[in-house]
A and B are shown apart, each in its own frame.
Chain A
Amino acid sequence: MSSTETQQKDRPGSRPPGRQKGERDRAPHDTGMRRREERAAYLFVLPFLIVFVAMLVVPLAYSGYLSFFRQRLIGATSFVGLENYVRAVQDQTFLDGVMRMVQFLLIQVPIMLTLSLVFALILDSGRLRLQRFVRLSIFVPYAVPGVIAALMWGYLYGRDFGPFAQVARALDMAPPQFLSHEVMLYSIMNIVTWSFVGYNMIIIFAALRAIPTELYEAARVDGAGEVRVAWSIKIPAVRPALLLTTIFSVIGTFQLFNEPNILRSIAPNVIGVGYTPNLYAYNLAFIGREINYAAAIAFLLGTVIMAVSYVVQLSALRKERRS
C-alpha cells in the first residue's frame, strides 16, 4: 500500500493500480455486516439498473423481436423467422455501407489516434507554453455538437462560396470538389477527426499523467531523451488507453450518422439512402416504413461492431502477451 500512496501524492488524480484487490484483503468483516453492505450496494446501483433495463435492454429485446416479423402496408403482420437477416446479408446497399465504414475505419481511425497520441505526448512533455490553452483548443471541437460541426464544415466545403474554393479561385486554380462522389468519404473523415481528436487526446493524456514519474527519472539517469522516453515508456504505458480509444472509435465509425445525414442536404445525390449502415436503417424505418427489416439491419450492424471490437481487443491482448 505504502508505495502506491506515495505515488498518489506525487500525481493527484491518478489511480493506483491494484487498489481494489488490496481493499478486499483488508476487509475481514463478519458475514452479517457483509450481507447488509451487499444489499446496500445493490440498492445503490438500482437506479442505474432500472434505467438500463428500461431504456436499453427492453428496446433491444423489442427490436430483436421485431426483426423476426414482417409488417407490410397491405396485409397482416407475419412471422418470417430469419428472412429479414437473409435479405440483409444479400442486400448490396447494406453491404456497400458496411464496406464503406470498414474503409473509413482503416484510414480515419489510425490518423485520428496518431494525432491524439502525438498531441497528448507533446502536452505531457510539459515543454509547451500556454499548455492549458492548447489543451483546451484541441478539445473544444469535441464540445461542438456533431450536427453543428457538420453544418459548419458543409459551408467550408462549399464549391462556390466556401473559403477553400475562394482561395483556390484567387490563385487561379480549380476549386477542390470536397463534396463529390470521390472525395466525400474523406471529407467526412476530416470532420470526424476534427471533432474527436481532442476527446481521444484527453483520455490518453490522463493515462500519461498516471505514469509514475520515477520511471522518467530513472530513464533520464540512463541517458534517455524525451523521444526515447515517449517511445519506450509512455506509449507502452498508455496501451490500455489506446485500446479503449480504438474500440470507441470502431463503434463510433460504424454508427456514423449525423455527419452524412447533414451533408446529404447539400450533396443529396452523393450520399444515398444507404451511405452508412445506420443511415440505411433510419431510412428503411422512416422512409420505406420497413421497421422489421430496419431492426434486422440494426441488429446485424450491432453484431458487426461487436465482432470488430472483439478482434481489436483480442489482437491487442495477444500483442501484450507476446511482449
Chain B
Amino acid sequence: MHPRSTRRLVALTATTLAGALALTACGNGDGPAEEVAEDDFEAAMTTDTSLTFWTWVPDIQNQVDMFMEEYPAIDVEVVNVGQGADHYQQMRTALEAGSGFPDVTQIEFQYISSFRLGDNLLDLAPYVGDLSANYPEWVWSQVTVDDALYAIPQDTGPLGLLYREDLFAEAGIEVPTTWEEYAEAARTYREANPDGYITNMPGNDPGQFAGFMWQAGARPFGYDGEETVRIDLMSPEVQRVTQYWQDLIQEDLVAVDPDFTDQWYQGLANGVYASWPTAAWAPVFLQGTAGNTSGLWRATEIPQWEEGQNVSGNWGGSTNAVLSGTENPIAAAELARWINVEREPALRFANEQFLFPPSNEILQDADFLEEESEFYGGEQVNRKFAEISETVEVDFEWLPFMDYVYSSFGETVGSAIADRGDMMAALQAWNDDVIQYAESQGFTVE
C-alpha cells in the first residue's frame, strides 16, 4: 500500500486539465508554469536515479530513508558540507564552477533570495501542485514570489518568551506582556538580583535582531528579484527597537554576552539570564543546554509593542529547495516535497528532530499539541508556539546578500551592543554600509 499522495491527486487533475490549458496557455510565457504530467512523474520516479542532498539537519537520513523506501528507484545521497555560512559558501563555489552542486539543498528563509539572484532555484510550483493551504500565510510568503514556489518549508521559528518562573517570582515580577513592562521588570529584577539579568542581548546575533525588527512591524529589506533592492534600516520601527535595547543596555539592565558560546550556555544554565525572547526551536534546545533547570522554565508570548496587540516575528527556520541546474527536477522536487509535506516524515521532524513544524497539518495535530513538557512544568509548549505561529507578521522580506548584511551588523550595531556603545549611531552606520555595498554590487537601491 502506498500512502496517498496529495501531489498525485494534484497531478492527476492537472493532466485532465492539461489539454484545455495547453490550448489557452500556449505561447503565453507569463502564465503559471504547467503542471508536470502524471505519466512523466511516474516515469521519473521509477527510473533509476541518483540525487544529492546537501543538508546539515541532524538525522535527516531518517526521512530520506523513508523516501527511498517509498521510491526504491531513487537513490539519495545525503551530504553535510557544513552548517550555515559554510554550507552557502560551498553552494556558491559549486554553482560558480557549474558542477558538483546538489540536486536538493537546505536553505534558510533569509538566504532564498540570494539564490534566486542567480536564478539558481527551480520553481517548484509545476512539480508539487498548490500547497498554499498547507501553511500559515507568513510561511507561504517566505517561499513564494507571485506564483513561483522556490522552496518547501521545513521548520520555522516564531518568537515567544521563555522565562524562569522561579526567578521571576523571587524578584516579585509579573510576566510582562508589553515591552514597556518588560523594561520595568528588567529594572526590578536587576535590583533584586545584582548578579543576574532579566535577559541577554547578544551583539553577534543579527538573526534575533531581525526577528525583533520583524515583530515590530519593520520592513527594512526588499528585493524585486531583478536589480532593485529596498534598504530602510532607519525606519521608525527599527529605530524603536534599537532605542529600546539601547536604553536597557546603557542602564546595565541586560547582559551583552555573545550567544551560542560556552559563556552564554552557562548563563542560561546558572540563572544569570532569567528569560530569553526566542524562537520556537528554542524550548527543546534549552532542555539540552540547561537540563539542570528542568521544571523551572515557562513559555509565553513575546512582549508586545502596543498593549492588547498579539503579533510575533520569526527567527530562523529552514527549507529544502531544488537547484535549477538539476538533471532530475521531478525526482528532486518530489524529494523536497515528500519529506516535508507527507505526514509521516513531517511528524518525525517535529517529534524526533524537534524542528518546529511549518505546516498547518502538524500544527493542528493533537499528539503534537498536547505533549506536556516536564522541563516547562508540564506546560503544553508546542501548543503555545503553534498559537504564536498564527500571529507572525506576513511579508517580511530579505536582501539577496544577507551574509554581508549580517556580517556588517556585527561590525556596527553588534559591536555597539557588545561595548555598550551608541547603538543609534551604529544603526545609521549599518544602514549606510549596506546601501553602499548594494550600490557597489550594481543594485538599484530604493
> For chains A and B in complex, what number of residue pairs have CB atoms within 8 angstroms?
67
- Given the interface pairs A269-B419, A270-B418, A289-B401, the reply to whether A158 lies near B442 with Cβ below 8 Å is no
The binding surface of chain B is classed by DSSP as helix
Which of A74, A273, A283 has the most chain B CB within a 10 Å cutoff? Answer: A74
Whose C-beta in chain A lies nearest to the C-beta of B404? A288
B179 within 8 A of A: no
A272 within 8 A of B: yes
- Given the interface pairs A158-B262, A286-B89, the reply to whether A73 lies near B414 with Cβ below 8 Å is no
The docked-state distance in angstroms from the alpha carbon of A267 to that of B442 is: 33
Q: Could you give, for residues 184-212 of chain B, a 1 whenever the CB lies within 8 Å of some chain A CB and a 0 otherwise? A: 00000000000000000001100000000
Residues of chain A with a CB closer than 8 A to B266's CB: 160-161
Residues of chain A with a CB closer than 8 A to B407's CB: 273, 283, 287-288
A265 within 8 A of B: yes
Report yes or no: B441 in contact with A268, Cβ–Cβ below 8 A: no
A11 within 8 A of B: no
- Given the interface pairs A181-B419, A266-B263, A269-B418, the reply to whether A74 lies near B258 with Cβ below 8 Å is no
Report yes or no: B262 in contact with A155, Cβ–Cβ below 8 A: yes
The docked-state distance in angstroms from the alpha carbon of A25 to that of B3 is: 87
- Given the interface pairs A72-B440, A73-B441, the reply to whether A266 lies near B401 with Cβ below 8 Å is no
Residues of chain B with a CB closer than 8 A to A75's CB: 442
A209 within 8 A of B: no
Contact for A272 among B261, B404, B411, B440, CB less than 8 A: B411
Report yes or no: A268 in contact with B204, Cβ–Cβ below 8 A: yes
Quote the shortest CB–CB distance from B76 to chain A (angstroms). 28
B443 within 8 A of A: yes
The docked-state distance in angstroms from the alpha carbon of A269 to that of B205 is: 10
Which of A73, A159, A161, A286 has the most chain B CB within a 10 Å cutoff? Answer: A73
Residues of chain A with a CB closer than 8 A to B244's CB: none
Whose C-beta in chain B lies nearest to the C-beta of A272? B411
Residues of chain A with a CB closer than 8 A to B117's CB: 73
Q: What's the interface size class on B, roughly?
A: 20 to 34
Report yes or no: B203 in contact with A269, Cβ–Cβ below 8 A: yes
Residues of chain A with a CB closer than 8 A to B419's CB: 181, 269
Quote the shortest CB–CB distance from B90 to chain A (angstroms). 10
The docked-state distance in angstroms from the alpha carbon of A266 to that of B263 is: 8
Report yes or no: B204 in contact with A269, Cβ–Cβ below 8 A: yes
Q: Number of residues in A with C-beta < 8 Å to the partner?
A: 23
Report yes or no: A288 in contact with B410, Cβ–Cβ below 8 A: no
The binding surface of chain A is classed by DSSP as loop
Residues of chain B with a CB closer than 8 A to A73's CB: 117, 400-401, 441-443
- Given the interface pairs A73-B443, A74-B227, the reply to whether A266 lies near B417 with Cβ below 8 Å is no
Contact for B441 among A74, A158, A161, A269, CB less than 8 A: A74
Interface residues of A in 109-160 (CB under 8 A from B): 155, 158-160
Report yes or no: A273 in contact with B410, Cβ–Cβ below 8 A: yes
Quote the shortest CB–CB distance from A242 to chain B (angstroms). 39
Report yes or no: B443 in contact with A269, Cβ–Cβ below 8 A: no
- Given the interface pairs A73-B442, A74-B441, A265-B261, the reply to whether A287 lies near B411 with Cβ below 8 Å is no
B85 within 8 A of A: yes
Report yes or no: A287 in contact with B441, Cβ–Cβ below 8 A: no
Quote the shortest CB–CB distance from A96 to chain B (angstroms). 12
- Given the interface pairs A155-B262, A286-B89, the reply to whether A74 lies near B203 with Cβ below 8 Å is no
Residues of chain B with a CB closer than 8 A to A268's CB: 203-204, 258, 410, 414, 418
- Given the interface pairs A72-B442, A73-B117, A272-B411, the reply to whether A287 lies near B85 with Cβ below 8 Å is yes
Report yes or no: A269 in contact with B410, Cβ–Cβ below 8 A: yes
Residues of chain B with a CB closer than 8 A to A267's CB: 258
Whose C-beta in chain B lies nearest to the C-beta of A74? B442
Report yes or no: A269 in contact with B442, Cβ–Cβ below 8 A: no
Whose C-beta in chain A lies nearest to the C-beta of B118? A73
Q: Could you give, for residues 279-318 of chain A, a 1 whenever the CB lies within 8 Å of some chain B CB and a 0 otherwise? A: 0000100111100000000000000000000000000000
The docked-state distance in angstroms from the alpha carbon of A289 to that of B93 is: 10
Contact for A288 among B262, B437, B442, B443, CB less than 8 A: B437
Q: Could you give, for residues 64-97 of chain B, a 1 whenever the CB lies within 8 Å of some chain A CB and a 0 otherwise? A: 0000000000000000000001000100100000
Report yes or no: A266 in contact with B410, Cβ–Cβ below 8 A: no
Report yes or no: B203 in contact with A287, Cβ–Cβ below 8 A: no
Q: Could you give, for residues 297-328 of chain B, a 1 whenever the CB lies within 8 Å of some chain A CB and a 0 otherwise? A: 00000000000000000000000000000000
Residues of chain B with a CB closer than 8 A to A155's CB: 262
Whose C-beta in chain A lies nearest to the C-beta of B415? A269
Residues of chain B with a CB closer than 8 A to A288's CB: 403-404, 407, 437
Report yes or no: A269 in contact with B414, Cβ–Cβ below 8 A: yes
Whose C-beta in chain B lies nearest to the C-beta of A271? B410
The docked-state distance in angstroms from the alpha carbon of A289 to that of B399 is: 14
Residues of chain A with a CB closer than 8 A to B411's CB: 272-273
Whose C-beta in chain B lies nearest to the C-beta of A87? B440
Residues of chain A with a CB closer than 8 A to B442's CB: 72-75
Quote the shortest CB–CB distance from A187 to chain B (angstroms). 15
Whose C-beta in chain A lies nearest to the C-beta of B272? A160
Report yes or no: B258 in contact with A289, Cβ–Cβ below 8 A: no
Whose C-beta in chain B lies nearest to the C-beta of A270? B418
Interface residues of B in 113-128 (CB under 8 A from A): 117
Q: Could you give, for residues 244-257 of chain A, a 1 whenever the CB lies within 8 Å of some chain B CB and a 0 otherwise? A: 00000000000000
Q: Could you give, for residues 158-177 of chain A, a 1 whenever the CB lies within 8 Å of some chain B CB and a 0 otherwise? A: 11110000000000000000
Residues of chain A with a CB closer than 8 A to B227's CB: 74
Residues of chain A with a CB closer than 8 A to B89's CB: 286
Interface residues of A in 198-224 (CB under 8 A from B): none
The docked-state distance in angstroms from the alpha carbon of A34 to that of B442 is: 62
Interface residues of A in 60-93 (CB under 8 A from B): 72-75
The docked-state distance in angstroms from the alpha carbon of A159 to that of B264 is: 11
Whose C-beta in chain B lies nearest to the C-beta of A267? B258
Report yes or no: B440 in contact with A269, Cβ–Cβ below 8 A: no
Quote the shortest CB–CB distance from A100 to chain B (angstroms). 15
Quote the shortest CB–CB distance from B346 to chain A (angstroms). 33
- Sample (7) of A-B pairs whose CB atoms are under 8 Å apart: A158-B262, A266-B258, A268-B414, A268-B418, A269-B410, A283-B407, A287-B407
Question: 20 new A-B pairs (CB below 8 Å) besides A158-B263, A269-B410?
Answer: A73-B401, A73-B443, A74-B442, A159-B263, A160-B263, A161-B266, A266-B258, A266-B262, A267-B258, A268-B414, A268-B418, A269-B204, A269-B415, A272-B415, A287-B85, A287-B407, A288-B407, A288-B437, A289-B401, A289-B403
Q: Which 9 A-B pairs have the closest CB atoms?
A: A74-B442, A269-B418, A268-B204, A72-B442, A75-B442, A73-B441, A269-B203, A287-B407, A72-B441
